[in-house]
Structure 1
């Protein structure tokens, strides 16, 4: 009895299990030969279906109804006027644009306005020793020597002349010639000299107010006769003294 039950159970399990596929059929095909044949057919189809050639661009002119977009007419007129102006500036000749194929420019020979003084052949053809001698003689004849003349004398009352005073004196600066009496003469002289733009102006005013014997303005504390350290040596050197 137990053997019969085991037999019935085994038969039931065998009926429920799916059939085992044939290992020789390949993957998804009846057999491997059919798979290879279909693969070759697919490769041939892919080789025949190449990319289509690019569409050629037509060179035929596009018909237009003659209507220009706003602004195109003005641009065309401006370009035309620019070309006309360029041709007019070049006396009607075409403009030469830069290009490697253009011929080399020709050298300008004998252009007017260019000096040929450094060209010995050209100078030798145009001039000679005789012509140079005549030119030198002409220049010497036109040469004129202007003799030095005495300076005109001053007219009117222009005040003391500091140049004449410098030439009339001989002692250097700092040599006391005149007596000065007072307290803190140097400090007063510094303040008083600061009022004048230059030592020449101070010397002229000093002479006009009684100097060099008297120093009413307090400009000559050391009594050398030169106000505000005025220096007469440049005037003396000018005349060779």
Structure 2
């Protein structure tokens, strides 16, 4: 009798003992982290708390917020978003690109931008230097009122011996030599010639050929000094 009672007692204890899951079959999750989340969710449901979302739901929600379709989830329920699939301006840390910047025409390689020409005055101002002095027109007379032979030379273009004014031809070579001997230099003869009404008139008979140059005076050195 006692043996039968002991048998029934052992059978009852065996029925109350919880079943240990088979470790070879797995816990039904892909990894341990998902198992812990599922366990916490079930405990919350049993205690009346707010149930936690499953690992698959969290992964799907994260993928949706990132702009990836649910079809982009991998086998572990994680979103696989690539830079090529994401629209411009939605990647983390990327600044939005204005549409006007995309519509601007690209500059051809090697092309130089158009630059307005700069004047001499603008260049002097940019370099902080005084403007270049402009050539001053020479007066036809000196400060004492005498003719300025330099100004006259620069205002002429004909060569020595090339007639420019009408003469009567009554001056011989001997007379020309005597008349030119009165002046110490050809510059003095030219100044006296201009002071007496030259080059239009030859009152001293020192420009018989009518070129406007008395006693063989040559304007070429003055022209060369001025760059003319």
TM-score (norm 2): 0.38
Kindly indicate whether structure 1 or structure 2 has the higher relative contact order, using CA contacts under 8 Å at least 6 residues apart.
Answer: 1
TM-score (norm 1): 0.36
Bigger Rg, which one: 1
